[in-house]
Structure 1
């Protein structure tokens, strides 16, 4: 794996993150200006616009902008932690709970709470009016009285951060790339339009939950606050049903919940837009890896599985090259000089096939039953136990006839010294078997298995996180195979076409088996939209890739050196029945 500091990818990612932070600050400044314009609404249009302009150019506004920039920059740091590392795999519910209670995750949750409080406090300070201060002059009695609505709204900001941090899972971010390349503004507008209904409903439920909690616990909060500061109250408490159902207060509460969730979601959206923007990688001029080069090549980008966003950008550039850029395909199809070998093509097709095979093997491991795994384990242990005791007597070694007959060794004292390590290995394997049997017995209990057992649903979802890479790899190698018929003058691709067909067929068989399995059926019943979308896209992409190859290579099917079983599987594609 190529280190991030060794290549130009660190500079690329830093620049894109900085642009995302600046764009997010600009967007939030625009949203705040719109909020001020909305809250100062008046029939006197001249006075309305003057008040809005004075608020925008005031010192409070620029202080707020500085605080907002610091908050969004902090969120950018957390986004970099999420998007630049592979998502963790939680084997069980207990492992997920332990991951939730780590210092890093708790710090992230705490930052959301602080950000919610800061944003609400800034909005209340900028808007002015009756909810802009904690205290006010009493109208009936002499002195200073508590404005309970202020800290009610201020605490709602903290609650919005807590609600958002509990509801979302930041460690399992999925890279969503656009199907059609668009400008950033259009992607931002489309993304905000798409998520507005969900954000409005989510903020509404957050406001309902907060009002319910305050109705039962508001008296304790008020008593604690009055005990710390010497102020008094002259109106009815806010935790009363008649005052809590104030339409103006409910509107302000919902608006602050919505603004916070929109701020967080739009920041993530901008990071996604900038990080998933297509970039053109270069090929190595010599065709081999050059450790001193400072520029990241396409082959190196495809190998960066430890930095998933770079690997995604590499496969995105590969599928773009394969389908749209004839000049770069010509570079891929050329031979290296000196040597005359297709280094670039060999590396690329090997990376794609390895990715497809790993995807198939991961799903085969998921679909394998625990009894089969236990049987395979027992067979391997039995083989290792029997092999040292009775070695196989063969007449020929390495296809050569023995000229010296085997002589039975004479027993000596050294036999005991050689059996001692084997006895130690036997004891270790025996203890390991007993431990695994005890763990299997514990996991057979429903409650223990619910907490500590491994979930097939999580395994499926985790493997499907690389579904986009699999789609691009299949599309790229199939498109390159088809274009090689007219553009590959050296014939560097034709030798790999049988391997490509066999690999795509194995992925198709795995997806068909998964589609019919009870695990995925149960997953679909849970209405997991992301899992269904990825599975549907995967099956469509694999079938499309196979159709693309078979349709164009149909006159040469008998010349591809395919096995008879493979040709039988291709008949449904040749007859267009898939």
Structure 2
């Protein structure tokens, strides 16, 4: 229980940092917006001083509180989505049932953030864009310009939800090169603010055209609610297209909302993916402190917190590739007292358990793919020797001479005996029932696939489980490469030979995984001939086998007992494996 608490504490601290950055970003984005809308080229000093005074006024700090509250709610749901354990949904109907509540809550919070952002930003604009009621022809009318900006807030929130959250869930992406946190955040802010201005221009123009078509309906509805009139002249195409200030405000507002939502997502991804150097061996816990550190084995075993497991796999890969890391000596060290290789035994057993479990799941999923079942890439039949071939020829000649037919299997003999015991009438009925049963099964199967939408919603696509496993194979890739690199480093760093005992199991697991991955060479998964994750995993396993065979090439006959495995390893030794 304490391990679960420690893992969740690690993630909670990072989520709180991401939340703090998200809240601070609201003030920064508001400052950028004020600098844009209050721009005055003739009075630059008044423009800068006035913007700063408005930004740090009590009214601004009080008005931004509702937006911060909605950001807190959104980040809580976002953090839970990042920390949630991934599930496989065989059918689209199951995916819809299980993810619909979370998607609906995400959509609601998107609309809330979009509305509150538009409401806050419009309060700092010109008086013609600030209120929902305006003066027109001596009477009170609905302010169509204000409604335009409010609808831009809803539109930008829906646009981000459709792009980022509708079909996919939040996922962590570990950078190839780990940079400092502040450098990553600074480059992220610069890149996001620049790209959001470009990506929001065309959607804003499209929304303006849509508002020209349906804006009258929206204005009339609110006019009825507030008992006001509608200014029809403000809803014409010319009035919207000529009002450059309105389009400019809408463009900047859409860019701010898109950048805000994207930055909140990236802050969580950056903080949760920050690498951690886990300890190898747990130190004695001080009495009364209640503090328990997370070891590398504990991190790899924390499948209930996938983020920590990913960090553990990443740390194992970094530990094995960094020659200056002193923690490898702790892996190869013996316990005191007792002189047992506890650290290596625990680490290797945990890694092999994860690799073998993934291989078993992959093998089970491959059995459901028709291409793999009907056209296996590798033949499992052993080559026939000359003696066996001669014996088969003599046996066939003997059977043909004396009229002996080939023996049937036990199952076919039992079925034949059962049919022979039946009377002719029962046999005809039995054959007719079996024929009708097969026809019904074929008809139902064909109808299930041909009825529009039925198989799409309730059928499991072929290869979907395999594609799911490969899409989440990054952790296995790091574990495979990290474990293989530790094994290769043991030849010069392992003074006690603790790795040599487990090395045959490591080689066997990697060969088994490589064999299963080779079956996917000619399989088209989800319309993609070669998937990026599949290529990365296959190349990682191949690279690991090459490293092991290169280092232990002179000792493979003593390490591996199976002749078939030894033959496969010789291909890696001579660099002829493809």
Q: Which moved more, 1:54-63 or 1:307-316?
A: 54-63
Is 2:185 the counterpart of 1:188?
yes
Q: Which moved more, 1:541-550 or 1:61-70?
A: 61-70
After superposition, residues 451-490 of structure 1 pair within 5 angstroms as 451-456=457-462, 458-490=464-496
8 Å CA contact 1:61, 1:126 repeated in 2:
no
1:286/1:57 Cα in 2 relative to 1: closer, same or farther (>3 Å)? closer
Pick from 222, 235, 247 the counterpart of residue 225 of structure 1. 222
Pick from 520, 524, 532 the counterpart of residue 518 of structure 1. 524
What do residues 330-367 of structure 1 show as CA deviations (whole Å, max 9, x unaligned)?
A: 11111223443222212211222222222223332332
The CA distance in 1 between the partners of 2:182 and 2:439, in whole Å, is 61
Q: Which moved more, 1:56-65 or 1:434-443?
A: 434-443
8 Å CA contact 1:546, 1:573 repeated in 2:
yes
| Contiguous gaps of at least 5 residues in structure 2 | 285-289, 375-409, 415-437
- How far off its partner does 1:481 sit? 0.5
1:254/1:456 Cα in 2 relative to 1: closer, same or farther (>3 Å)? farther
Is 2:95 the counterpart of 1:76?
no
- How far off its partner does 1:11 sit? 2.1
The CA distance in 1 between the partners of 2:23 and 2:368, in whole Å, is 51
Pick from 294, 304, 307 the counterpart of residue 305 of structure 2. 307
The CA distance in 2 between the partners of 1:306 and 1:490, in whole Å, is 35
1:332/1:455 Cα in 2 relative to 1: closer, same or farther (>3 Å)? same
After superposition, residues 159-174 of structure 1 pair within 5 angstroms as 159-169=155-165, 172-174=169-171
- How far off its partner does 1:559 sit? 2.1
The CA distance in 2 between the partners of 1:333 and 1:221, in whole Å, is 71
8 Å CA contact 1:88, 1:172 repeated in 2:
no
The CA distance in 2 between the partners of 1:451 and 1:343, in whole Å, is 50
1:96/1:237 Cα in 2 relative to 1: closer, same or farther (>3 Å)? farther
What do residues 129-160 of structure 1 show as CA deviations (whole Å, max 9, x unaligned)?
A: 5322222334xx32334321111110221222
- How far off its partner does 1:371 sit? 7.0
Match of 2:128, SS?
coil
1:216/1:187 Cα in 2 relative to 1: closer, same or farther (>3 Å)? same
The CA distance in 1 between the partners of 2:362 and 2:188, in whole Å, is 32
After superposition, residues 60-459 of structure 1 pair within 5 angstroms as 60-102=59-101, 104-138=102-136, 141-169=137-165, 172-192=169-189, 199=196, 203-204=200-201, 206-208=203-205, 210-234=207-231, 236-238=233-235, 240-246=236-242, 247-285=244-282, 294-324=292-322, 325-369=324-368, 443-447=448-452, 448-456=454-462, 458-459=464-465
Match of 1:144, SS?
strand
1:336/1:285 Cα in 2 relative to 1: closer, same or farther (>3 Å)? farther
8 Å CA contact 1:7, 1:294 repeated in 2:
no
8 Å CA contact 2:223, 2:230 repeated in 1:
no
8 Å CA contact 2:219, 2:230 repeated in 1:
no
The CA distance in 1 between the partners of 2:463 and 2:170, in whole Å, is 17
- How far off its partner does 1:326 sit? 3.6
The CA distance in 1 between the partners of 2:230 and 2:165, in whole Å, is 42
1:149/1:562 Cα in 2 relative to 1: closer, same or farther (>3 Å)? farther
The CA distance in 1 between the partners of 2:270 and 2:364, in whole Å, is 34
1:505/1:370 Cα in 2 relative to 1: closer, same or farther (>3 Å)? closer
8 Å CA contact 1:315, 1:473 repeated in 2:
yes
The CA distance in 2 between the partners of 1:195 and 1:249, in whole Å, is 23
1:101/1:187 Cα in 2 relative to 1: closer, same or farther (>3 Å)? same
The CA distance in 1 between the partners of 2:514 and 2:162, in whole Å, is 37
Give the match for residue 39 of structure 1: 37
- How far off its partner does 1:534 sit? 2.2
1:200/1:437 Cα in 2 relative to 1: closer, same or farther (>3 Å)? farther
The CA distance in 2 between the partners of 1:435 and 1:185, in whole Å, is 65
Give the match for residue 50 of structure 1: 49
1:572/1:250 Cα in 2 relative to 1: closer, same or farther (>3 Å)? farther
The CA distance in 2 between the partners of 1:333 and 1:510, in whole Å, is 31
8 Å CA contact 1:7, 1:295 repeated in 2:
no
What do residues 242-285 of structure 1 show as CA deviations (whole Å, max 9, x unaligned)?
A: 23334433332232222112111111111111111112222344
The CA distance in 1 between the partners of 2:464 and 2:200, in whole Å, is 28
1:545/1:64 Cα in 2 relative to 1: closer, same or farther (>3 Å)? farther
Match of 1:136, SS?
strand
8 Å CA contact 1:442, 1:449 repeated in 2:
no
The CA distance in 2 between the partners of 1:272 and 1:19, in whole Å, is 11
Give the match for residue 423 of structure 1: none
- How far off its partner does 1:458 sit? 4.0
The CA distance in 2 between the partners of 1:227 and 1:27, in whole Å, is 38
1:228/1:286 Cα in 2 relative to 1: closer, same or farther (>3 Å)? closer
Give the match for residue 392 of structure 1: none
| Length, aligned pairs only | 507
What TM-score does the superposition give when structure 1 sets the normalisation length? 0.79
The CA distance in 2 between the partners of 1:214 and 1:98, in whole Å, is 34
Q: Which moved more, 1:163-172 or 1:25-34?
A: 163-172
- How far off its partner does 1:465 sit? 3.8
1:211/1:32 Cα in 2 relative to 1: closer, same or farther (>3 Å)? same
Give the match for residue 18 of structure 2: 20
Q: Which moved more, 1:502-511 or 1:110-119?
A: 502-511
